[in-house]
Amino acid sequence: MRDPLHCMSVKYKLTLAFVSVCLLAFGVGGFLVSRSGSSALEEQIKARIDLQGRASARALNDGLRLLGRRTEDFASDGFLRERFDALVAAEDDDTRRGLRDELTRHLLANKLPLVPAFVGLTLISNDRSARIDVGEVADSGDAAAISDALAREELHHSDLLAAAPGEPPLQVISTPLRRLHGGDAIGRLVAWVDTSVWISASLEGIRPTPDDDSARHTPIVLRIVDHRGESLTEVPTAGDDGHGRVRRDTAREGRADGGFTRSIPIRENGWEVRVRLRSLDAFAPVSGLQSRFLGVGIVLALLCAVLLLFPMRFLVRPLGELREAARRIRAGDYSVRVAVDSADEIGDLARSFNHMAEAVHEKTDSLSRAAEELRAQQRRLRAQHERLDTVIRTLRDGLVVLDADGGPLLGNDAAKPLMEMLARGDEHLTSHYVCRQQEATRDCAACLLQREKTTASCVLDVDDRVLEVHVTRLPPGDDGRRGRVLVARDITERLARDERDIHRERLSVLGEVAAVMAHELNNPLTAIRMFAQMLVDALPPQSPYREYADVIVRNTETCRRSIGELLGYANDSAPEAGPVAVHAVLHDVAQFTRPLAERAHVTVTTELTADDDVVSGDEIQIRQLFVNLVLNAVQAVAAAEDCGAADAPVTVTLRTSNDEGALVTDVTDTGPGIPAGVRARAFDAFFSTKPRGEGTGLGLPTARRIAELHGGGIELVESAPGRTVFRVRLRSAHSTRPAPDAPRTAEGTPA
């Protein structure tokens, strides 16, 4: 067991021990003597409180019963009943006013003065149509008290009514007011009772006389509590008459502050009388007895303290020297020793202390040498750790060291994407390439970190990056378990460069193929154009076939120029500039594409509202631009019909307008729209959503290139089921400012 006074000096412990013995001997003894006297006094106090409470409850009950009978006597007055019945039944205002004045005088003269506790009387009919108030009527509790009284059938005593500060505490006694003939209730007689007057009058005969010695030394507090906990307290005073004064408590009664309490019910209204006597007042006669015993104990304790000087000098002082020597050793002075002056237990303790100090001195020297060696090793390890940390931190490849449970122990900044992936345990992590383990497991992280694998490699998609991850097992630790080292290299840019190289190779092959195709197609196109021109010259001007022959000539020239464009796709050849009427070009495009559109159940319409439709450029290229856009819409609708996605007729509308020196042409279709996942790649070369063999992926890229060569651009304004809009901006021939470029997306392609 630990000494509870271990923080106290021995000299103070000895002094405290002697003083405690004296105080216990006389203090406890005095307490026991005074306690026996207090027990006897307590029994007498409880008997007196019980007698006082019962007498007070009986007196208050009798006083309240008398007030109830007086209220019933008032309600049985024949004159009062007859006149109030007439007042309730009267319909004429003058009659009602006369009856009201007559009843008021009767109540003031013959009823209210008879009972001092009544401060006001109220007559009220059952339907509240007639009411007479005399005396002082409580305003704050009027509505609630009247409503509660009308809800009763017989004599009723209310709880305390709410009152403003300074107003007397009131309660209500109500009784039915019946007709003189028949006995039916026509209303209620409500008596407003000053509760303090009722209490003072009821307790008049049972208060102790002023010369009663017990009354002066043991003041009893009387409290009357209603059903809601509201209370009135009779406070004893020191007046000559010995009467108390009644006050209303500002708060409901809480826990008593120590003392004796007795509660007795008042049968007439269900309230309680609580009689309380404070403990300090009750035990005042015996309180001085304990103080006298305690004083004697203090005097004896001082005498014992004087007798303690001898043990203080020869016992406590050597112990103090030992404590000071121990403090100096703790501070680092190992040469300190304690002088031995006696052969008793104190001397043996001093010699043992000196031997201990010598042993501590030797051990401290050896520990200092060992600590210096450890610090030198720690500096070498810290330098190695800093070099290793610098190497890992400067690596461009990500490096992560995992423990046996897969938790990260070490990692650099380049490995943050991989560490975040491991921390959140991505279930949707996938391999960049088709993996042979893909059918066996969908969790690439679990496959990569399998315990039985010594090494492993995989190319993973982590967020928007592609990482090449290599995993190697670490040597087993002290527990025989192995960790992992993950090295991740970001190969996103390398893959992008590979794809660009492949794309350039495709363009090179396309150029070679285009040269061969141009040679093979130019001869047939030349023959077609020549015979079509001969047909135009041979037909009369009024022939309807002359227009068809003109279309053949123009479109043959367009095919020839398109082949030339295919050959020049990879270079920056400038168009043959000249004024071009775009409205005429759009009419030709609508007529040229109408047969193909009708086969696909598509209607091509024009809304040419631009005031200035002349642009500067190559007419053949501009015609090819709009043909590509219209054919792209028609072919997309045809593909949707084959898949069963189109269930309504589709319209392609060519609409023009002018905007800040540019001619704006919107190509709008009501088809199924472009899927959200491929909108960003819509202008990429060789990208097509059509089935293999039906699209080259050059329609939209070629159209964009033509628009950019003419100082404008193309943008995908809107794409949703039922509405897709491509907007073409071309520089107006009469404008000196360039047409605004089409906006670009984050990937670098038009929006």
* Partners of 124 in beta bridges: 131, 188
Compute the average pLDDT of residues 131-135: 88
Q: Provide the CB-side half-sphere exposure for 474 (13 A, CA).
A: 19
Q: Which two tokens stand for residue 193?
A: 């009772």
**Cβ neighbour number for residue 178 with a 10 Å cutoff:** 16
Q: What's the rounded Cα separation, in Å, for the pair 686 and 699?
A: 9
Helical H segments across 395-476, by residue range: 416-424, 444-448
pLDDT in tens, 714-750: 988 888 888 889 999 998 877 655 544 444 433 333 3
Q: How far is CA 427 from CA 402, 449, 464, 531, in A?
A: 19, 14, 16, 68
pLDDT in tens, 415-446: 777 777 777 665 556 666 666 555 544 566 66
pLDDT confidence bin for 606, thresholds 50/70/90: very high
Domain 398-486 belongs to what architecture?
Answer: 2-Layer Sandwich (3.30)
Helical H segments across 568-675, by residue range: 582-599, 619-642
Residues of the chain with CATH 3.30.450.20: 1-307
pLDDT at 572 over 60: no
Which DSSP category does 210 fall into? T
> Highest mean pLDDT: which of 37-51, 234-248, 615-629?
615-629
Compute the average pLDDT of residues 204-213: 60
pLDDT at 23 over 80: no
pLDDT in tens, 101-128: 998 998 888 888 888 888 889 999 888 8
Tell whether domain 575-751 is in CATH 3.30.420.40.
no
Strand, helix or coil for residue 170:
strand
pLDDT at 532 over 70: yes
Residues of the chain with CATH 1.10.287: 491-573
Question: Which parts of 58-155 are beta strand (E)?
Answer: 118-125, 131-135
Higher pLDDT, 624 or 694: 624
Tell me the pTM: 0.38
Q: Which two tokens stand for residue 415?
A: 């490995």
Predicted pLDDT of residue 512: 65
Compute the average pLDDT of residues 8-14: 66
Nearest to 613 by CA among 660, 576, 579: 579
pLDDT in tens, 224-267: 888 888 888 876 554 444 445 677 766 555 444 557 788 889 88
Average pLDDT, the chain: 76
Predicted pLDDT of residue 627: 87
pLDDT in tens, 639-681: 666 555 555 678 899 999 998 888 999 999 888 888 777 777 7
| Long-range contacts of 198-201, Cβ-Cβ distance < 8 Å, separation of 24 or more | 198/60, 198/63, 198/64, 198/67, 198/117, 199/60, 199/63, 199/224, 199/232, 199/234, 199/246, 200/243, 200/246, 201/63, 201/116, 201/117
pLDDT in tens, 330-352: 887 878 887 777 777 777 787 88
Query: Which residue type is seen at 748?
Result: G
| CATH number of this structure's domain 491-573 | 1.10.287
Predicted pLDDT of residue 607: 92
Q: What's the rounded Cα separation, in Å, for the pair 333 and 491?
A: 66
Q: What's the rounded Cα separation, in Å, for the pair 333 and 153?
A: 98
Task: Express the helix, strand and coil content of the chain in percent, nearest 5 each.
Answer: 50, 20, 30
Q: Provide the CB-side half-sphere exposure for 651 (13 A, CA).
A: 6
pLDDT at 515 over 50: yes
**Overall fold of domain 1-307:** Beta-Lactamase (3.30.450)
**Cβ neighbour number for residue 160 with a 10 Å cutoff:** 22
Predicted pLDDT of residue 319: 73
Predicted pLDDT of residue 416: 79
